[in-house]
Amino acid sequence: MKRKTIIVLVAAVAVALTLVAFYANSGIQSPKQEEKFRIAKVVRRDLGASVQATGIVKAMVGAEVKVGARTPGKVVNLPINVGDRVEQGQVIATIEQDDLIARVRLQEAILAEVKAEHSRLAKDFERDKQLHETKSISVQRYDLTEALHEIARARVLKAQAELDVAKAQLSYATVVAPIKGTVASVNTVQGETVTTGLTAPTFIKIIDLDRLEVLAYVDENDVGNVKVGQEASFTVAAHPSTDFKGRITSIYPSATIQDNVVYYLTSVSVDNREGKLMPDMTANVSIFLDRRKGVLTVPNQTVQREGSKKYVYVLHNETSEKRYVSTGWKDSSYTEILDGLKDGETVTIGDPGRK
């Protein structure tokens, strides 16, 4: 009998040890651990407040340029590829020039001809002007000579303007980078014919990656605390261990509504000298505010949203009560409670009544 009792006790101890090891190694919390994890007290603490927002890395105005053809023709040289760095004024494409060069030469010849005619008529006009002053020629002849001189002068101006246009068209055949930056797209190939006009496609896009910003979507409940000049930091998925630094540069006055929540776009300056950031990356932004002392707080994960309202679950007599709250500042861990909770109350992470 004693032997059986000993065996039972040994077996019970073994089972207990096995359960302890199982909870420890599997990551599953024991009932007491789960309760400790799910429950938090409403307490007063100093809060180094920050506003959390999600944003998108974007090129600043003027930092992204789409280049199209200003003269039609076949692309005879395309010395760049996507990802290449280019400088302002660098040749990035050349369009066939034979017809354009011929037009320039034709206009130069026309200009030379009308200039010669103008020079001859100018001499005739000066001669007849002197004769007219001494009344040696008729008024009709003087008027005719003066008119021919003015017509010749107008022809010179017209020919000069047409030559300038022809030279401009020839210059357009050499496509240069309007800004320094990185080639983001090339939508043509050497030998392809490009067109001009309002509907003509862009065939090269350049982005200056040194001039980026983050457009952060700041909740309407937080935007009143955000000011131009405040420091901010953000991370991106491509470099999760890097905290990029910046400052608030502007707050858009018009709202953006997503899923019935009102946001205000807020721009954050970016230092991208290392070239780690690219447009359209998602950024997790922290905007640093002042520090508040002795404010009521709860863990961030206890605060839930219902449309534009926020609520928590309050534990009372082993039952949970859904209670709407007004929130203030928050940092990466805690949220300030302005109304709806009292110091010492117990809140839960999620609804403990849900299975």
List pLDDT tens digits, range 51-80. 899 999 999 999 999 998 888 999 999 999
DSSP 63: S
pLDDT at res. 11: 46
pLDDT at res. 3: 47
Rounded to whole angstroms, the Cα distance separating 308 from 261 reads 6
Please count the CA atoms within 13 angstroms of the CA of 320 that sit on its side-chain side: 17
Which whole-number Å values give the CA distances from 167 to 92, 93, 161, in the listed order?
Answer: 19, 18, 10
* Mean pLDDT in residue range 203-219: 96
Q: Are 286 and 232 contacting, i.e. CB atoms less than 8 angstroms apart?
A: yes
Q: Which domains does the chain have, with CATH numbers?
A: 37-59+209-348 (2.40.30.170), 64-207 (2.40.50.100)
- How wide is the angle at C-alpha 213 spanned by C-alphas 209 and 218, nearest 5°? 155
**For residue 98, is pLDDT > 80?**
yes
pLDDT at res. 15: 44
List pLDDT tens digits, range 21-53. 434 433 333 444 444 448 899 999 988 778 899
In the three-class reduction of DSSP (H, G, I as helix; E, B as strand; rest coil), residue 89 is classed as coil
pLDDT at res. 48: 74
pLDDT at res. 352: 65
Q: Are 74 and 191 contacting, i.e. CB atoms less than 8 angstroms apart?
A: yes
Element containing residue 307 per DSSP (H, E): none
* Mean pLDDT in residue range 210-238: 94
DSSP 201: P
* Mean pLDDT in residue range 274-280: 94
Element containing residue 55 per DSSP (H, E): strand 43-59
Rounded to whole angstroms, the Cα distance separating 100 from 282 reads 47
pLDDT at res. 353: 60
Question: 294: how many CB neighbours lie within 10 A of its CB?
Answer: 9
Residue located via tokens 């605060």: 303
List pLDDT tens digits, range 294-325. 999 999 999 998 887 999 999 988 788 999 99
Whether this prediction's pTM lies above 0.75 is answered by: no
Tokens of 140: 């009709």
DSSP H stretches of helix in 248-307? none
Residue located via tokens 């050499």: 174
In the three-class reduction of DSSP (H, G, I as helix; E, B as strand; rest coil), residue 200 is classed as coil
Question: 17: how many CB neighbours lie within 10 A of its CB?
Answer: 10
Per the prediction, the chain carries an average pLDDT of 87
Rounded to whole angstroms, the Cα distance separating 259 from 306 reads 11
